Amino acid sequence: MATATRTKAQKKTYRPLDDRVLVRPHEAEEKTASGLYLPEGAKEKPMTGTVVAVGPGKLSDEGERTAVSVKPGDKVVYGKYAGTEIEIDGDKHLIVKETELLAVLED
């Protein structure tokens, strides 16, 4: 029986299910607006991130998919305790339901 091996150069790909969205959180601020550096324990958990991947949408009672309103590359705001944290190739990510997203940041 053959087994597949994965080299370090190969990256895993994730495809969220239904109306879930894979988000890469933005880095926490390391210093205040006045220039003071924050210790690790005082940093606030970021509530913004960039969408990496989206699921196909929620399945309605009629059997049709409802399109997700965000797309990869969108910058979003989510609730402080939203989603499930996972680690992909050493980077922290969140998987959140579309309803847990609060806003899309527009430039």
Q: Tell whether 10 is covered by a domain.
A: no
80, pLDDT greater than 90:
no
Total tally of structural domains belonging to the chain: 1
Q: Tell whether 58 is covered by a domain.
A: yes
Q: Tell whether 30 is covered by a domain.
A: yes
Q: What is the CATH number of the domain that holds 49?
A: 2.30.33.40
Q: Tell whether 1 is covered by a domain.
A: no
Q: What's residue 44's pLDDT?
A: 59
> Which tens digits make up the pLDDT trace of 6-48?
445 566 677 888 889 999 998 766 655 666 665 655 555 668 8
Q: Tell whether 83 is covered by a domain.
A: yes
C-alpha–C-alpha distance, residues 95 and 52, integer Å: 10
Q: What's residue 31's pLDDT?
A: 59
**Is 102 or 29 the better-scoring residue by pLDDT?**
102
Q: Tell whether 5 is covered by a domain.
A: no
Among residues 45, 44, 52, which one has the least CA distance to residue 73? 52
